[in-house]
Structure 1
Amino acid sequence: MEFSEVVRRRRMVRNYDPDRPVPADVLERLLEHALHAPSAGFSQGWGFLVLESAADRDRFWATTTPDELAGSGWLAGMRRAPVIVVPHANKSAYLDRYAESDKGWADRDEGRWPVPYWQIDTGFAALMMLLTAVDEGLGACFFGIPPERVDPFRVEFGVPDRYGPIGAITIGYRAPDRRSPSLRRGRRPVAEVVHRGRWREPGSAS
């Protein structure tokens, strides 16, 4: 598939065909492509928890689902996904990397970082998986884990303290689902979000 077509077709898919597993070679390509995401200092401070068995997926949903969503249609469709990948960011890998001699920092001071690149770079890796899913004829959805459910999730799956989940991705073959109401907002035009040479607010004369 042409890259422009992959970008055009990418959307969050919230319902999956439970009778079509993701082929092992396809899943491996998704994970391999994630490793080609950029990372500051080539720190590569990410880790991916892959949940394929029904038992593991059930454990994930039981641990991460807020009580108010337990009977929702959204959850019913998402639970049909045959694969869940949870991308994790490792801040320590970045602090360690930039304390090395070639980077010139002699300490691991987190204050040197204007934004958390460990989370940004892991988000890049997640996007690589989302785009690869489209290219492979699959659907995928990135979604958050509620803050109050993160610690129970870590305990349930033995995630080390140095790794923090940035969200989760369901992956599978798409089944019919309803269009998200949020899409009614429409895509913001380029002229509204791109500023050339100087930031200009809409309607500003200068």
Structure 2
Amino acid sequence: MDFKEIVKTRRAANFFDPNKPVAKETIRELVEMAAQSPSSYNLQPWSLMILEDPDDKARLRKLAFDQPKITDAPVVFMVLGDRNAWKEGDKSFEMNFAEMVKSGMPEANKTGLAKTMISLYGASQDHMQAFAAKNAGFFGMSLMYAAKSLGLESHPMDGFDHNGVKKEFNIPDNYWIPLIMSIGYFDESKEYPAPKWRKSFEDIVVSF
């Protein structure tokens, strides 16, 4: 399946086969494919909680408008965006700087890089939120395309009690949850969703 076909045939599937599990190796392959997503300064400020246990999925469903696809799908991803990943001392910042040094950046540049990060991403709460949501969104979209390429279906959701989910699953305050996502094989007894309308080129391109 080439990329054009993946883009054209991906759907937000509402029906998953609860009796067809996704192999651990397939989940790993999917996540490792999505890990190639671009990110600001390559900070990769995303993390992923993977829910497969029925009780965990049931807990999430109660906080997500009781959507059946959360418990029907064999796997549910909770995509997390780290609002602090740009900060000096944070694991993401330090890992990334270490790789920069390996590539030839002088270690003395660390202070200057940290100041740049503050000006770009730490200037306000809005900047921090945008940093986390934007980059985690790149990762989330890649997860969906990667899933399709592996014969899986997905459904991204932002209809859930954000604070309730954070509390229920003990998610630290530095994380924002841009979306949760059901992953699995389509329930073939159901009708596959038809494509929805999309803006045209003329609708998308603007000038001011």
TM-score class, shorter-chain normalisation, is 0.7 to 0.9
Structure 2: segments with no counterpart, 5+ residues:
98-109
Q: In the alignment, which of 161, 164, 170 is matched to residue 158 of structure 1?
A: 170
> Which has the higher mean CA deviation after the structures are superposed, 111-120 or 52-61?
111-120
Q: CA deviation at 1:157?
A: 1.1
Q: CA deviation at 1:25?
A: 1.0
Residue 117, structure 1, aligned to residue 131, structure 2: yes
Q: CA deviation at 1:109?
A: 2.3
Structure 1: segments with no counterpart, 5+ residues:
201-206
Once residues 106 and 124 of structure 1 are traced to their aligned partners in structure 2, the CA distance between those partners, rounded to angstroms, is 19
Q: In the alignment, which of 185, 192, 196 is matched to residue 203 of structure 2?
A: 192
- Identical counterparts, % of pairs: 22
Question: Equivalent residue for 2:107?
Answer: none
State how 1:58-73 maps to structure 2 within 5 Å: 58-62=58-62, 64-66=63-65, 70=66
Residue 105, structure 1, aligned to residue 116, structure 2: yes
Once residues 49 and 169 of structure 2 are traced to their aligned partners in structure 1, the CA distance between those partners, rounded to angstroms, is 9
SS in 2 for 1:169: strand
Residue 79, structure 1, aligned to residue 80, structure 2: no
Q: CA deviation at 1:92?
A: 0.9
Partner letter of residue 170 of structure 1?
Answer: S
Once residues 53 and 85 of structure 1 are traced to their aligned partners in structure 2, the CA distance between those partners, rounded to angstroms, is 12
Once residues 53 and 114 of structure 1 are traced to their aligned partners in structure 2, the CA distance between those partners, rounded to angstroms, is 32
Once residues 175 and 64 of structure 2 are traced to their aligned partners in structure 1, the CA distance between those partners, rounded to angstroms, is 20
RMSD of Structure 2 on Structure 1 (CA): 2.6
Is the Cα contact below 8 Å between 1:14 and 1:177 reproduced in 2?
no
Once residues 194 and 54 of structure 1 are traced to their aligned partners in structure 2, the CA distance between those partners, rounded to angstroms, is 45
Residue 170, structure 1, aligned to residue 194, structure 2: no
TM-score relative to the length of structure 1: 0.79
Question: Equivalent residue for 2:48?
Answer: 48
Question: Equivalent residue for 2:16?
Answer: 16
SS in 1 for 2:76: strand
Residue 91, structure 1, aligned to residue 90, structure 2: no
TM-score relative to the length of structure 2: 0.78
Count of aligned residue pairs for this structure pair? 184
Partner letter of residue 145 of structure 2?
Answer: L
Question: Equivalent residue for 2:102?
Answer: none
Q: CA deviation at 1:178?
A: 6.2
Once residues 81 and 16 of structure 1 are traced to their aligned partners in structure 2, the CA distance between those partners, rounded to angstroms, is 5
Cα deviation per residue 1:169-192 (whole Å; 9 max; x = unaligned)? 000001224647x92xx2222122
